[in-house]
Amino acid sequence: MIAEATSEDIPALCELLGELFLQESDFQPDRVKQAAGVRLILKNPEYGKIFVMRRTGAVVGVVNLLHTLNLRHGGRAVILEDMIVRRDFRSQGIATALLAHVLSFAHSLGVVQITLFTDPSNARAIGLYQKLGFTPMGISPMRTGDVSARRPTGGRAREG
């Protein structure tokens, strides 16, 4: 069964996110930060939605969507930020079901684009995403670290 996550799901979500972040070369698990992020989304639905797949009452999969806008398409967009299925429940169609749910949910909102990022070495996930209509982008993602810990440099961005 797929449903919206609740605050009771936070420990299970942090466990799954920890497993996900250990698989990705750029991230390290931090339960405190992960729980804080989950709480922010649950308390502020305008930020996004977290959906979980439950089997016999336990959370076995999660997908996190963040709301944004896409100016190129002139409409609402979502970022599929995190998705993972518990290791002992993989190859049972759970990821496909979660993604189908996300696509249906996004369609119901009138979303014009869903963007996701995946580790380039995760061929299995990439294959699933492509099977469901996602296509590779010709841009490279970039990010900053903890912006709250940085001081402005005083430089001005160039307009181009």
Output phi, psi for 56, to 5 deg: 45, 45
How many helices and strands in the chain, by DSSP H and E?
4, 5
Task: Indicate whether this model's pTM tops 0.75.
Answer: yes
* Angstrom distance (rounded) from CA 50 to CA 64: 4
How far apart, in whole angstroms, are the C-alpha atoms of residue 4 and residue 152? 38
Q: Are 80 and 115 in contact (CB under 8 A)?
A: yes
Give per-residue pLDDT as tens, 6-42: 999 999 999 998 888 777 666 677 889 999 999 999 9
Q: Which residue has the tokens 């919206």?
A: 4
List pLDDT tens digits, range 94-114. Answer: 999 999 999 999 999 999 999
Residues 6+ apart with CB under 8 A from 29: 17, 18, 21, 22
CATH code at 2-137: 3.40.630.30
Radius of gyration over every alpha carbon of the chain, rounded to an integer in angstroms: 17
Per-residue model confidence as pLDDT tens digits over 29-75: 788 999 999 999 999 999 999 999 999 999 999 999 999 999 989 99
Q: For residues 19 and 4, what is the distance between their CA atoms, to the nearest angstrom? A: 20
Q: At what angle do helices 94-109 and 123-131 cross, to 10 degrees?
A: 50
Nearest C-alpha neighbor of 62 from the set 102, 24, 30: 102
**Tokens at residue 60, please?**
């076995």
3-state secondary structure 28-59: CCCHHHHHHHHHHHHHCCCCEEEEEEEECCEE
